[in-house]
Structure 1
Amino acid sequence: MTVQVQALPYRHVLTLPTTGGAVRLARQTTEDVLIDCGVDLRHPSVGPALLIVAELVTNAVRHAAVLSPSVTVTYAHGTGAFAFAVHDRHPYQPALYGALATAPGGGLATVAEMTMELGGTAVVRPDADGCGKSIWITLPL
C-alpha cells in the first residue's frame, strides 16, 4: 500500500496524559473518528486499527511516561486509507519489523504482523530534535 499520509486530510488530533486511562480514550476516539469518516465498523481494517492504537498507546504509557507526560494520537482519512500516528517524547525508536524476529507474539510484533497482513504500512518517524517519535500506521479501507 502506497499512500502519502500528507495527502490525507487530518480529521482529529487527540492529546492525553500518559496514564492508564489514555488507552481506553484513544481506542474510543479511534472508533468515533472512523464513524465520523463514514467507515463501517464491520470493515476488516477496523478491529486491527483499534487493537494497534491500543497497543501503541499502552507502550507509550508503560515505557515513555517517564520522559513524556502526554501521548498524542493523530488521525487522517482519505479515499481508501485510514492513517493514525501515536506520538510521545521518549527518544527510543523501536524497530517495528525487527520485533517479528526478536519478540514474536509480542505487542510490536503483533502491530507489524497485522499491518502487513492488511497490506498497510508502519513507519517510525523521529522528531526533528531526536527526543521523541511518531509511529504512523496506514491501513486500507
Structure 2
Amino acid sequence: MADLQEAVVTLPSAPASVSAARRYVCDRLAEWGLPSDAPALDSVRLIVSELATNAVLHTCGRSPEFTVLMRLEHSERLHIGVRDRHPRWPRLQPADEPGEACPLADFDLDPCALDPGDLDPGAGYGGDPGAGGREDGGRGMVIVGHLADESGGALRITPTEEGGKTVWIVLPWTVRVL
C-alpha cells in the first residue's frame, strides 16, 4: 500500500446524501483493506452518519453541498473529514446535570477559529429551537468525540479558506498491510 491514500467525494446537502457518504467511506475502507467485520467499522459508520447529517441539517441552506475527505497516512492514521461552507461551528450540548462537565477540553479545536458564541445554547447550531436548532442539538458531536476517543483517536475542527469548516476524526489504522 502507498504511504498516502486519499479519497474525496462531494455530495448535495440532501438527506439521501447521508447514506451515500456512509457507503462511500465504507467502500474506500474496504479497498484499503479494512474487513467488513472489523469492530472499528461500526464506529466509523456512526461517525460519518452524524457528521454528514450535521452538514445536511445544520447548514440552513448556506452550504448546498458537503465534501467527505479521507486520508490514510503511512498505514497508521486514518483521517475522515466532512467539510461544508457554513461559517457556524458545531457546539457541544451543555451538561445535563449541575456539576457535570461538558467535555469540550477533550476535543482538539482550532483556537484561532473557535467563536465562543458557537458554544452558547442559543447560537442557532443546535440547542435553542427558537434559534433554528433543536433541543437535542450538540449531543451528536459529543458522541462522535467519545467514539473517536474510544478508538484511540481524536476529533478536530478546522476552518476552510471559504469561511466554512471541516470536522475531522483521526483514528489509528489497525489493519496489517501485507
Q: What's the counterpart of residue 116 of structure 1? A: 149
Is structure 2 residue 166 aligned with structure 1 residue 134? Answer: yes
Verify the 8 A CA contact 1:11 1:33 in the aligned structure 2.
no
Structure with the larger helix share: 1
Aligned amino acid, residue 87 of structure 1: R
CA RMSD of superposed structures (Å): 2.5
Q: What's the counterpart of residue 101 of structure 1? A: 102
Q: What's the counterpart of residue 86 of structure 2? A: 90
Q: What's the counterpart of residue 12 of structure 1? A: 7
Q: Which structure has the greater CA radius of gyration?
A: 2
SS in 1 for 2:146: helix
Question: Offset at 1:80?
Answer: 2.5
SS in 2 for 1:136: strand
Aligned amino acid, residue 8 of structure 2: V
Which whole-Å deviations, capped at 9, do the CAs of 1:74-131 have from their partners, x for residues lacking one?
A: 11113122211100000011246978728799211100111111110111001134x2
Verify the 8 A CA contact 2:5 2:72 in the aligned structure 1.
yes
Question: Offset at 1:46?
Answer: 1.4
SS in 2 for 1:64: coil
Structure with the larger strand share: 1
Aligned amino acid, residue 132 of structure 1: G
Aligned amino acid, residue 31 of structure 1: C
Which whole-Å deviations, capped at 9, do the CAs of 1:20-71 have from their partners, x for residues lacking one?
A: 0110100000110001101112222211111101100000100114100000
Gaps of 5+ in 2: 96-100, 104-135, 174-178
Gaps of 5+ in 1: 1-7
In the superposition, the TM-score normalised over structure 2's length comes to 0.67
Verify the 8 A CA contact 1:45 1:139 in the aligned structure 2.
no
